[in-house]
Amino acid sequence: MLRLSRFTFLVAVNGGSENWLLYNALTDLGVLIDSSLARSLAGFLTRRSGKRPFWRYEKSAGSADRLERVADALPASLAAELQVLAIIVDPFKEELCIDSIVQNFLQPSCLKLTIAYSARCQMACGYCFQSGRDVSRRHDQGMVDRTISWAEQYIKDRGLQALHLGLFGGEPLMDFQIGLAYASGFKRLSERLSIPLEISLTTNGLNLSNEILTQLLNYGLTYVRVTLDGPPSIHDLRRPASSGGGTFDRILANLKKAKELEGFGIGVAVNVDETTSHSIGALLEILREAELNDDVEIILEPVMPKFSKYARENFDFAGTLRSLADAFHQVVEKQFASPLLPGMCGSCNVIQKNCFVVDWNGDLFRCSFTMLENSMSCGSISGGSSVGALTADDKLNHNFDRASDVLNWCQKKQCPYLSICGGGCRFQSWLTDGDWAAPNCPEKLFDEIAADAFAHSFGLKSRRR
C-alpha cells in the first residue's frame, strides 16, 4: 500500500499555470504542479493558518487513512512520477528512512571538535554569553598535541569516518598561530587515518585577512562565519571594540576582500532579538551594495544568554520566535541565501555522541553555552579522559543521555519538520523548562515561515493572499 509521504508540503507560489510547489522535507525534493492537482492534494493535508496558502501533514484522527487514499485518487502515471520524488511512498520504507536519519542525528560517523583555544577578544559585546571568563587562558603547543592525540584515539576506538575541526574562541584570530597549529596537526591526522577533514572558522572578522584564509585553505577550510548584527547604527552599539569605537566598517571591508578567494563558504550571522529583528533588511541592502549578496548566506540565530538560573527564569521563548520570523521574512524578501529554517533548530550537539567543545583549559563540554560552568564538563583533554561516559557525575550523565529522548517525542508526534529540525536546541529546552530533554518545539515559527522558506530554496516566492 502506497501513501502520500507525511513529510509533504504544499505551497502556493508565484508563476505560470504550474503555480504550486509540492515539496518533501525528508528528501529535499520538489515539483511544480497546477492548481487542479493542488486542489486534489490539499484535501489530504491540513491547511495552516497564516497569510500564505500552505498545507502540510498533521497527526490527527483519520490522518493516516487520508494519506493512504491519495495513491488511489491519482492517475497511475502521476503517482509513479511522485514516487520518484518520494512524495508517494511505501510507508514501511519511509519509516526505515526516518529511523536512519534519527540514528545519524544521534551517532554521526564524524568527530566534530569545536576548539576554543583562546579566551581573548578585542570586542565588548554586551550580550556575550562568555562574559566573565579568564581572558588570559589559551592553549599551548602541548595542549595542541594532547588534543590531536586524544582525537586520534577517539576516532580509532569508534571507527569514525570523518573529522570536523571548528576554530573558536574568544576570538580565534587573536592567537592565530595556535589555530594554525591545530589546522596543520589535524590535517596530518586526517591523512594518517585516510579520512576527510573539514575546517570551519568562527570569527568576529576584525582580524580576518586573505593571508590567513589562504593558509587555512591549504589545510581544509570549508566555511567562515562572521557576525554582523545589523547596519552600523545597530551593530556598532551592540558589538563595539573593547577599546571603544565601531567595528562594522572594518569587518565589511575584510568580507569584501575575502570574496576574492574561492573554495569556502561565508556565513554572515545575525544575533536576532527585538533590537535587531526589524533592521535585517537594512543590513542586507548594505551587503548588496558591497556586492556580497551572491557570496554569503545569512544565518539568523537568537541571542542566547549565559548559562545561569537568572537566564533560565527570564528567557522569552515566544518573543524569540517572533523576532526570528520577522528577520527571516526580510531575508527572503531580499533574496539572500539562508539555511532552510532559522535559529538553533538543527540537531543539537548535546544529543550527538561524537560532538565536543574543548574550552580554553582543555575541558570537554557538549554545549558551548555551558563552557563557563565547570559542573557541566564531561571530561578533560588535560586529564586524558577517554570520554567513555559523559562524566562521573551521574546526574549530568543522566540528563544528557536522556536529552536524545526528544527525538522519540518528535517521532510519536509524527512531526513533518523532524528531518529538518532534529529535535532542536537542548540549551533552549533547559532555558524554557529547566530540562535538557524537554520538547522545545518551534512549530509555530516553522508554520509561519515554511511557505517562504521552501519556495525560497527553489528560487521561488510564496504567494500571499
d(CA 90, CA 3): 7
32-41, 312-321, 344-353: which has the minimum mean pLDDT? 344-353
Q: 137 burial class (0-12, 13-18, 19+ CB within 10 angstroms)?
A: middle
Residue 395: predicted pLDDT: 60
Look at residue 446 and tell me whether its pLDDT is greater than 80.
yes
Residue 15: predicted pLDDT: 83
Look at residue 280 and tell me whether its pLDDT is greater than 60.
yes
Cβ atoms of 238 and 267 within 8 Å: the answer is: no
For 334-388, the pLDDT digits (tens) are 999 999 888 765 678 888 889 999 999 999 999 999 999 988 888 888 765 454 4
Cell numbers 574562541 label which residue?
Answer: 169
d(CA 362, CA 147): 8
Name 10's bridge partners.
Answer: 22, 55
Residue 397: predicted pLDDT: 63
Q: What are φ and ψ of residue 428, in 5° steps?
A: -60, -35
SS3 (DSSP) at 4:
strand
Closest CA to 367 of 308, 311, 307, 421: 307
Q: What is the DSSP string of 332-361?
A: HHTT-B--SS-SS-S--GGG-TTEEEE-TT
d(CA 175, CA 418): 39
Residue 72: predicted pLDDT: 81
CA distances from 440 to 100, 315, 427 (A): 22, 13, 9
Evaluate the CA torsion angle 316, 321, 326, 327 in order and state its sign. positive
For 409-444, the pLDDT digits (tens) are 999 999 999 999 899 889 988 888 888 989 888 888
Look at residue 268 and tell me whether its pLDDT is greater than 80.
yes
Domains of the chain: 3-89 (no CATH), 104-380 (3.20.20.70)
d(CA 463, CA 333): 12
Q: Higher model confidence: residue 76 or residue 120?
A: 120
Look at residue 107 and tell me whether its pLDDT is greater than 80.
yes
d(CA 112, CA 118): 18
CA distances from 73 to 15, 22, 56, 442 (A): 26, 16, 18, 33
Grid cell for residue 438 = 524537554
At 1, is the pLDDT very low, low, confident or very high (cuts 50, 70, 90)?
confident
291: Cβ contacts below 8 Å, ≥ 6 apart: 256, 259
Q: What is the pTM of this model?
A: 0.92
Residues 315-336 have a mean pLDDT of 92
Residue 344: predicted pLDDT: 63
Closest CA to 123 of 6, 220, 251: 251
Cell numbers 544568554 label which residue?
Answer: 305
d(CA 301, CA 336): 16
Q: What is the DSSP string of 277-301?
A: GGGHHHHHHHHHHTT-TTTEEEEEE
**Other residues' Cβ atoms within 10 Å of the Cβ of residue 80:** 11
Look at residue 99 and tell me whether its pLDDT is greater than 50.
yes
At 252, is the pLDDT very low, low, confident or very high (cuts 50, 70, 90)?
very high
284-288, 395-399, 460-464: which has the minimum mean pLDDT? 395-399
Look at residue 390 and tell me whether its pLDDT is greater than 60.
no
User: Tell me, what amino acid is at 169?
Assistant: G
At 314, is the pLDDT very low, low, confident or very high (cuts 50, 70, 90)?
confident
Closest CA to 143 of 183, 110, 181, 191: 181
175: Cβ contacts below 8 Å, ≥ 6 apart: 117, 118, 120, 138
Look at residue 232 and tell me whether its pLDDT is greater than 90.
yes
Residue 99 sits at the vertex; the CA angle it makes with 71 and 345, to the nearest 5 degrees, is 100
Look at residue 293 and tell me whether its pLDDT is greater than 80.
yes
Residue 440: predicted pLDDT: 83
